[in-house]
Amino acid sequence: MVDVRRRVTRSAEDVVVDVVIYTVMALICFSMLYPFWNSVVLSFNDGSDAIAGGITFWPRQFSLENYAYVFRDPRLARAYGVTIFRTLLGTPLTIIVTSTFAFGLTKRNLIGRRYYMWAAVFTLYFGGGLIPFFLVVRGLGLLDTIWVYLFVIGGSAALLNVFHMIIFRSFFMSIPQSLEDSARIDGAGYYTIFYRIIVPVSTPVFATLTLFNAVNHWNAWFDGAIFITRSNLVPLQTLLRQILNSNAVDELMGELGGTAAEELARSAITTQTLSMATMVFATVPILLVYPFLQRFFVHGLLIGSLKE
Amino acid sequence: MRKLLIVFMVLVVSAFTFAGGSPAEESTSATDEEFVLGETPLTFSFFDVSDVFAGHDYGVDYQGEAWIKENLLVDMELIGSGGAAEQKFSTMIIDGDLPDRLSINRNQLPQLVEAGLVVPLDDYLEGSYFLESMGTGAIDMLRSEDGKLYQYPQWMITRESGNGNGGWLIQKSIHDALGNPPVETFDQLYDYLNLVSREYPDMIPLAVTQNFTGGYVIFTGFAEDMLYDYIASFKAIPEGDELTSIFKSDVFEEALLYTARLFREGLIDPDSFTINRSQDLERLPDVAVVASNNIAMRGRETRGVLQQEDPSNDWIPIWPIRKEGLDPDRVFPNSYNTLGGRINVISSSAENPEGVFRFMDWLFSPYGALVNWFGPPGLYWEDGDFTPEGYPVNFSEDWFSDPADVIRFVGTNRTGIGNTALVDGMSEYFYSIDPSFVNWTKNTQITVAWQTSKDRTEFTNVIPATDSDEGIIFQEIEDIFDEMYSRAMFASSDAEVLSILADADSEADDAGFDQLLDYMTEIWQRDKERLEDL
């Protein structure tokens, strides 16, 4: 028997092409990773020194001052808690609402199906603006409460994300009807069908959109800025932005000192390095979560390639 | 079936509309007892539209604040917006529930007054530092349309000389290496820049810094008493008692031709229109001469780089460069407004408006200024013994040797009110005792910038509100000017510059500049009279 799996011979051309491809890929990866690495490096660098420019792969004048400035704020722990709370609770909530809404819309015998779809898609194109949005949230009594992060349809971390809903719906519609029909024959109702058949089959989509929503919740700052006034319920990103802004005044104050002050330490904390430090501080946790969900993405890429 | 559905939907939507909630209740602001600062505890909320004050909790990190909290029994609830200040402000207005004290821009006041959201301050003026230092004439200038006073300006100046940060810098080592030629007039500047570009082809001869502010500084040197604001803000120049179009001004034409010529010949940094702050600072060490509306900050931030390479190098602030034959004491790249820029207002939902006013007044007083900027008594200065201006006689020299990162936490972060005269005066007071006490920035300001700053208080209200007819014309004029200015820089000859200027002139006339100028002149003359009535 001829061994079919014999090694494919590689010509010189193959090798050259490989080298080129690898090089190009490496360069592209580097160009994406380097800016982030540079930001991390800058965040650990003394501020006044950083202004001179020229800092590339390693801090030139190591300093933890920028992080110290961030950590000084006692409200930080609470803000972190708020963000974790809204991410842990808000993400599943959004996923459940969005996916069930999408599932409902796949059923042709749903009354008003067209209307719901139209209403949802309409909001993708048109919005009322900030003031009407604010008035609705106020009318719902959500101002200054932690629930404003979870139960608002709008903004970056919406309870019903129309875009995701459309993705869910498309995917659900691609699931063979026969699966559902056989479950129906066995006496399953809609809930059972959804949770026991549809969801397990759609894991890639669920995982992907869960991550998207989690990231949205993690990064959201605008709702915290606008809807929270009196209570101490701002999320992490909002607080970090605030800290960054107020550094400008501190720089002015520090300027009042005398000559020796200048020589000793032109401020180690400048807006540039401080913003790097806040960015690293805010991004690292979500970066750490990402690898665990990595495997779902690979599967997710195979969406559409499954045939009956 | 379909009809039923429609009816149902309409009902659902209307239910949500009517559940929208009632407008916020107007809270009554009545205090029964007499308020005495320091004895009656006071808590109020504070929001600032520039969003710089809410980074930390009040009284926690800053020693001045801790002292105020303990001794004056004042606590502030700081409302921040994490970067979305303008939007947050709009939503708060809609909500009708404003924080007790607000720091806003002057042109945001009229809408608040109209909506009845702010409290007049007239009742509290009696005996206040505010009235005492500024006088009734200046206060009258601050009154709103209905004749009442609603604003307490953020930064005021109660003395003859003002503040400022702009002017010219020269890099010392380059100047020395080229033989220290005089750089006092524009002709000398031109020669010097050419010399630099010949001897040091890798350097940028003249930097006008971000947004081309140096070009405006150049303009102020072309005639006596030319305010920076004429070109940077008003786009109008006074002739006699009237404000006239800048496009028609001979002085401006001359300045424009000169600046365009420098730019055309490659003597000005060609990227000046597009650089951002960090790019601006990064290239400064390669610049021989700097013209900017903020040389103090730029010099401070980049001196270190200069000295890393050559410890004897430095930025030298020079007296403003001017046209041949002008009186050097009447050239003003800087201007100041005794009435400040932004303002504080007290909202009608404040529980204790008088208390808030008294506290703001205290911050404005000499003693308050000291605590704000130099920390509580006993730390760097001693209570009890003061010079006639209000500076402490006994102060610690540690102030000059402690590092900047300690100094920044000594006073407060939540000022929002101040008398520049006192703060700047303190620096001059230190300088008079020993010039080495003062750092480079203050030195620059004291020796050059503050002395070349002109009072522009009479022009405070000259810029029209954005939503008025004149305001719309004003925005158009600004756009015409900006376009004209950048095009002129890239023109290829003097003749082309002149034709660009002439085009802009007729465009401005078509846009209704005359009407705008009449309005601005009226306001200016009215306020000028009020100030003279003082």
Tell if the CB–CB gap between B408 and A253 is shorter than 8 Å: yes
Q: Provide the pLDDT for residue B534.
A: 57
Higher pLDDT, B332 or B410: B332
Q: Provide the pLDDT for residue A75.
A: 81
**Nearest residue in chain B measured CA to CA from A73:** B56
Of A13-17, A233-237, B56-60, the least confident = B56-60
**Residue intervals in chain B for CATH 3.40.190.10:** 42-158+340-437, 167-337
Sequence-distant (≥ 6) Cβ neighbours of residue A190 within 8 angstroms: none
Higher pLDDT, A157 or A210: A210
Q: What is the mean pLDDT of residues A117-122?
A: 92
- In B375-491, which residue ranges form alpha helices assigned H by DSSP? 398-401, 404-407, 420-433, 440-444, 469-489
- Decide if B431 touches A, using CB distance below 8 A: no
Q: What is the mean pLDDT of residues A146-167?
A: 86
**Do the Cβ atoms of B161 and B450 come closer than 8 Å?**
yes
B45 min Cα distance to partner chain A (Å): 9
Tell if the CB–CB gap between B94 and A242 is shorter than 8 Å: no
Tell if the CB–CB gap between B91 and A130 is shorter than 8 Å: yes
The pLDDT confidence band at residue B202, using thresholds 50, 70 and 90, is very high
Q: What is the mean pLDDT of residues A150-156?
A: 81
Tell if the CB–CB gap between B56 and A243 is shorter than 8 Å: yes
- Decide if B487 touches A, using CB distance below 8 A: no
Q: Provide the pLDDT for residue A5.
A: 61
Residues of B in contact with A229 (CB under 8 A): 79, 92, 97, 99
User: How many percent of chain A have pLDDT more than 70?
Assistant: 85
**Do the Cβ atoms of B477 and B513 come closer than 8 Å?**
yes
- Decide if B57 touches A, using CB distance below 8 A: yes
Which tokens go with B529?
A: 């009279």
Tell if the CB–CB gap between A260 and B52 is shorter than 8 Å: no
C-alpha of B243 from chain center: 23
Instruction: Flag whether A42 is in a domain.
Output: no
Q: Provide the pLDDT for residue B27.
A: 38
Higher pLDDT, A279 or A298: A279
Q: What DSSP line would sit under A146-200, residue for residue?
A: GGGGTS-SSSTT-SS-HHHHHHHHHHHHHS-HHHHHHHHHTT--HHHIIIIIIHH
Report the SS3 class of residue B204: strand
Q: Mean of the per-residue pLDDT values for chain A?
A: 82
Model confidence at B402: pLDDT above 90:
no
Cβ under 8 Å to A: B residues 10-29: 16, 19-21
Q: What is the mean pLDDT of residues A148-170?
A: 87
Q: Provide the pLDDT for residue A239.
A: 85
Tell if the CB–CB gap between B57 and A74 is shorter than 8 Å: yes
The CATH class for the domain spanning B167-337 reads alpha beta
The pLDDT confidence band at residue B512, using thresholds 50, 70 and 90, is very high
Q: Which member of B77, B278, B442 has the closest CB to residue A272?
A: B278
Higher pLDDT, B485 or B7: B485
Q: Provide the pLDDT for residue B9.
A: 62
Model confidence at B414: pLDDT above 80:
no
Report the SS3 class of residue A90: helix
On the CB side of A165, CA atoms within 13 Å amount to 25
Mean pLDDT highest for which of A250-254, B10-14, B304-308, B401-405?
Answer: B304-308
- Decide if B79 touches A, using CB distance below 8 A: yes
CATH number at residue A159: 1.10.3720.10
Mean pLDDT highest for which of A7-21, B70-84, B211-225?
Answer: B211-225
Cβ under 8 Å to A: B residues 399-418: 399-405, 407-411, 413, 415
Sequence-distant (≥ 6) Cβ neighbours of residue B460 within 8 angstroms: B106, B141, B337, B339, B527
The pLDDT confidence band at residue A296, using thresholds 50, 70 and 90, is low
Question: Which residue type sits at B127?
Answer: G
Q: Provide the pLDDT for residue B422.
A: 79
Of A22-36, A98-112, B95-109, the least confident = B95-109
**Do the Cβ atoms of B133 and B101 come closer than 8 Å?**
no
Model confidence at B25: pLDDT above 60:
no
Q: Which domain holds residue A250?
A: 74-256
Tell if the CB–CB gap between A259 and B438 is shorter than 8 Å: yes
Higher pLDDT, A254 or B492: B492
Which tokens go with B509?
A: 């006339």
Q: Domain tally for chain A?
A: 1
pTM over 0.90: no
Q: What is the mean pLDDT of residues B344-353?
A: 90
Helix (H) / strand (E) element for B172: namely helix B172-177
Q: Which member of A65, A73, A245 has the closest CB to residue B83?
A: A245
Model confidence at B242: pLDDT above 80:
yes
Q: What is the mean pLDDT of residues B484-511?
A: 93
Q: Which member of B55, B400, B403 has the closest CB to residue A246?
A: B55
The pLDDT confidence band at residue B22, using thresholds 50, 70 and 90, is very low
Instruction: Flag whether A221 is in a domain.
Output: yes
Instruction: Convert the pLDDT of each residue in B144-161 to its tens digit.
Output: 888 899 999 888 887 766
Asked whether this complex has an ipTM greater than 0.95, the answer is no
Model confidence at B437: pLDDT above 80:
no
Q: Provide the pLDDT for residue A197.
A: 86
Q: Which member of A131, A251, A259 has the closest CB to residue B436?
A: A259
- CATH 3.40.449.10 is right for the domain spanning B42-158+340-437: no
Model confidence at B17: pLDDT above 50:
no
With CA atoms as reference, report the closest residue to B100 among B365, B361, B357. Answer: B357
- Decide if B300 touches A, using CB distance below 8 A: yes
Instruction: Convert the pLDDT of each residue in A67-103 to its tens digit.
Output: 887 787 778 888 888 999 999 999 999 999 999 999 9
- Decide if B232 touches A, using CB distance below 8 A: no
Q: What is the mean pLDDT of residues A208-227?
A: 89
**Nearest residue in chain B measured CA to CA from A234:** B82
Q: Which member of B87, B278, B407 has the closest CB to residue A253?
A: B407
**Do the Cβ atoms of B351 and B240 come closer than 8 Å?**
no
Instruction: Flag whether A205 is in a domain.
Output: yes
DSSP-derived letter for residue A110 is -
Model confidence at B504: pLDDT above 90:
yes
- Decide if B92 touches A, using CB distance below 8 A: yes
Q: What is the mean pLDDT of residues B278-286?
A: 87
Tell if the CB–CB gap between A242 and B21 is shorter than 8 Å: no
Q: Provide the pLDDT for residue B19.
A: 42
Residues of B in contact with A45 (CB under 8 A): none
Tell if the CB–CB gap between A243 and B402 is shorter than 8 Å: no
Tell me the residue ranges of DSSP E strands in B41-161.
Answer: 42-48, 74-79, 101-104, 152-153, 155-156
Instruction: Convert the pLDDT of each residue in B292-339 to its tens digit.
Output: 988 888 888 788 788 888 888 999 999 999 999 999 999 999 888 888
Q: Provide the pLDDT for residue A299.
A: 58
